Structure 1
Amino acid sequence: MFKISDLQTFWGDPPVAIHPIVSNFCLPALTCTRVEVLDLDSKNLGACYLTQTRQTTSWPRHVSSGSLNVTFVDLSAADCLAAQFRRRLRAPTGVGNFGMPLRSLSFRSTTASTSASPRSSSLTRAYHRAQSAIANCRRDAAELTEVAQGIAAVLTSLLYFKQKSLIYPSGIPANARTEVPRPSQFGLRDFEELVIPTNDGEKLSAFYIRGPRRGRFANCTVLMFHGNAGNIGHRIPIARMMINSMGCNVFMLEYRGYGLSTGEPDEKGLTLDAQTALDYLRSRAETRSHKLIVYGQSLGGAVSIKLVAKNQQAGDIVGLILENTFISMRALIPSVIPPARYLTMLCHQIWPSESILPTITEVPILFLSGLQDEIVPLYEVTTTPTKIWKTLPGGDHNSSVMEEGYFEAITDFVSNIAGSEKL
């Protein structure tokens, strides 16, 4: 144990001169000694270089009172001797021992003890490397904590204030709000372009596409609700396949805030839009006697579930087709935004399909699901007597419609619920 019994310090302006007076211990014959002074937060307050013949100093102009960590370092042999000093001050009357700059005080003596030994240079170097590594780890941890806090703040803001634009990206792909393909571009000639008003003042665009007038399912209309991006024009190829395979009619509604429809999309608004479409078909002379099959993809499936649950008792909805529909928006978030998994309660666009679907007990349901789809299906919670599960082995969330057997499954489902007679 080496004891530094006294360290005479003279504080003034110009900066400090330090003269070590050592009892029972002599510093080794050092070519150059660096004396570092750090405060309690390990911030370097200054350094003094001691040689056998001269001293060079680089000290701060004032230091607050308290404990200091002082290190003597032999720059030539890499030996060091660490000590902690407790300064004793004679403060002017009325001034406490803490918080007073020392540059104007008569700073005379300190005492300290140390357990470090300059005996082993390798041990000393290892010790200081470890201390440096610990300090770096603490600094890195603090920086990582700040980064994590920043990411959490950004995610929280995005999830709460920007979730509508995340859930309803109506501008994707580019020009989706202004350029809507028409049925005639896909060889469908018998159709109407419609604008349907809602009870809250929005105007919804829609296509009513007729199938063959004498087809088997001429008195059947499929009410289509698309996913959360694009517009109804992008789904016309699906409508064409349904018309060609079944000979039915197809009504395609555009949500508010999508395509050429007015307004901004949200859960309440889309729910009202779906009811508006159903009420229109029920009131239109040509379709009021039709049997209706509601078809929804992804977000459109959530819209369809709400609509059918509310209107199943009327008897005109004879089937529900769901493709890759999620349990709820809150359950979907961890799949699409993993870092936000702990912020799901901030989601106010809920779409609780898992709790609504069991209330559908009167309408047969066909589930179309790609095996590569990461979204959990709803089949197990369904209570309706007739439910069919169709897997599409190569399909993911967006490409299931292109899989072999997709439209065959729809045709078989409609044929089974229709029977052998024309609907």
Structure 2
Amino acid sequence: MNGLSLSELCYLFCCPPCPSRITAKLAFLPPAPTYAFIEEDSPSSSNSSSSPSPPVSNCSLHLTEKAEWQYSRSELEVIDVFYTRSRRGNRVACMYVKITDSPEFTILFSHGNAVDLGQMSSFFIGLGNRINCNILAYDYSGYGASTGKASEANIYSDAEAAWETLKTRFGLRPDQVILYGQSIGTAATVDLATRHEVAGVVLHSPLMSGMRVACPDVRRTWCFDSFASIEKITRVTSPVLVIHGTDDEVIDFTHGLALFERAPRTVEPLWVEGAGHNDVELYGQYLDRLRKFIQVDIRSS
């Protein structure tokens, strides 16, 4: 998400484009896919439907070198991959990382921009093991093996499809789920959390809105803005943990601070001194704070 030139700013305010065009300009940079799903039988979700269809159960995961897998092949056995279908008709690639047979909580993870499930797979293994949670992640439309095109409407629909999968495929209740969003994924997480009260919500390097990232001096939400989490966060009734690096060069630290101040049920935030946009998880306090959120804050809220 880069700043806009003077001419682009003038165009935005004099001839504002539709929200989807701002979204495409500011947010979506899907990488070349770093993985593939190998379907072992005909996909059960290939038919079109107004509601999510059952996921494909018989897929195997193929990672390319660009995925930079950090574990042995045996660790791949804890990863289950399948498709579900969104209400907007796109096939959504899902990755389920099973760390334990009896998890207290399962993470529904909405990842950041410019990565896909293949690149995130090693991180999911490491994170799940360290916080003892299973993780369900998904790729946005137009990312990885997911079909369609990235858009704000699609990203929300993709998140909802993943949510439905947690209920139908894994039989989870809302109070067994933690929604976790990173960067652009926090927009999908906040949107989902406005409709479903869950055990907890983690916003990792969140943004207030698309326009506020591009134009730091913007102080209101325009009708053509996108990803307006700053407006939606007031309707989130679950406990919210905000994590942000103080030296974030992509989404300024003030975004996380503003969301923390407006969320109705926040817990103690984590402001990682000196951390940027892509290295917060390398700091020791990151895992410590997540564990405390899961083991203490959620139970006492």
TM-score with structure 2 setting the length: 0.74
Q: Is 1:407 aligned to residue 295 of structure 2?
A: no
2:78 aligned residue: 190
2:273 to 393, 403, 406: 393
Structure 2 Cα separation of the partners of residues 207 and 152 of structure 1: 42
Structure 2 Cα separation of the partners of residues 258 and 208 of structure 1: 17
**Could you list the per-position Cα deviations for residues 340-381 of structure 1 after superposition, in whole angstroms to 9, with x for gaps in the alignment?**
x79x95x845111111111223x1111111111224221111
Deviation, 1:236, is 2.3
Cα gap change, 1:358 to 1:243, in 2 (>3 Å): same
Mapping 1:314-325, distance limit 5 Å = 317-325=198-206
Cα gap change, 1:290 to 1:305, in 2 (>3 Å): closer
Paired AA for residue 272 in structure 2? L
1:372 aligned residue: 247
Deviation, 1:328, is 1.2
Q: Is 1:207 aligned to residue 207 of structure 2?
A: no
2:118 to 226, 233, 253: 233
1:356 aligned residue: 232
- Give structure 1 stretches of 5+ with no counterpart: 1-149
Where 1:296 maps in the other structure, the secondary structure is: strand
- Percent identity over the alignment is 22
Deviation, 1:234, is 1.9
Cα gap change, 1:177 to 1:256, in 2 (>3 Å): farther
Paired AA for residue 191 in structure 1? I
Cα gap change, 1:244 to 1:195, in 2 (>3 Å): same
Mapping 1:19-418, distance limit 5 Å = 152=7, 156=11, 160=17, 163-172=22-31, 174-175=32-33, 181=67, 187-213=75-101, 218-287=103-172, 291-312=176-197, 317-335=198-216, 348=224, 350-361=226-237, 363-373=238-248, 374-376=252-254, 377=256, 378-384=259-265, 386-417=266-297
Cα gap change, 1:328 to 1:305, in 2 (>3 Å): same
Deviation, 1:224, is 0.1
Structure 2 Cα separation of the partners of residues 388 and 154 of structure 1: 36
Paired AA for residue 292 in structure 2? D
Paired AA for residue 193 in structure 1? V
Q: Report the RMSD for the aligned CA atoms in angstroms.
A: 3.2
Cα gap change, 1:263 to 1:168, in 2 (>3 Å): farther
The 8 Å contact of residues 266 and 349 in structure 1, kept in 2 or not, is answered as: no
Structure 2 Cα separation of the partners of residues 327 and 171 of structure 1: 21
Structure 2 Cα separation of the partners of residues 390 and 154 of structure 1: 33
Where 1:263 maps in the other structure, the secondary structure is: coil
The 8 Å contact of residues 241 and 269 in structure 2, kept in 1 or not, is answered as: yes
Q: Which has the higher strand share?
A: 1
Where 1:294 maps in the other structure, the secondary structure is: strand
Paired AA for residue 195 in structure 1? Y
Structure 2 Cα separation of the partners of residues 231 and 195 of structure 1: 15
The 8 Å contact of residues 371 and 393 in structure 1, kept in 2 or not, is answered as: yes
Structure 2 Cα separation of the partners of residues 290 and 151 of structure 1: 47
Where 1:405 maps in the other structure, the secondary structure is: helix
Give the length in aligned residue pairs.
255
The 8 Å contact of residues 394 and 403 in structure 1, kept in 2 or not, is answered as: no
Structure 1 Cα separation of the partners of residues 100 and 226 of structure 2: 39
The 8 Å contact of residues 225 and 304 in structure 1, kept in 2 or not, is answered as: yes
Structure 2 Cα separation of the partners of residues 224 and 287 of structure 1: 15
Answer 1 or 2: higher relative contact order, Cα 8 Å, separation at least 6.
2
**Could you list the per-position Cα deviations for residues 275-310 of structure 1 after superposition, in whole angstroms to 9, with x for gaps in the alignment?**
111111111245458700000011111110110111
TM-score with structure 1 setting the length: 0.54
**Could you list the per-position Cα deviations for residues 163-212 of structure 1 after superposition, in whole angstroms to 9, with x for gaps in the alignment?**
3443333334x555875749795634212111111122110101011012
Structure 2 Cα separation of the partners of residues 352 and 415 of structure 1: 30
Structure 1 Cα separation of the partners of residues 6 and 274 of structure 2: 35
The 8 Å contact of residues 294 and 319 in structure 1, kept in 2 or not, is answered as: yes
Paired AA for residue 237 in structure 1? S
Deviation, 1:152, is 1.4
Structure 1 Cα separation of the partners of residues 96 and 161 of structure 2: 14
- Give structure 2 stretches of 5+ with no counterpart: 37-63
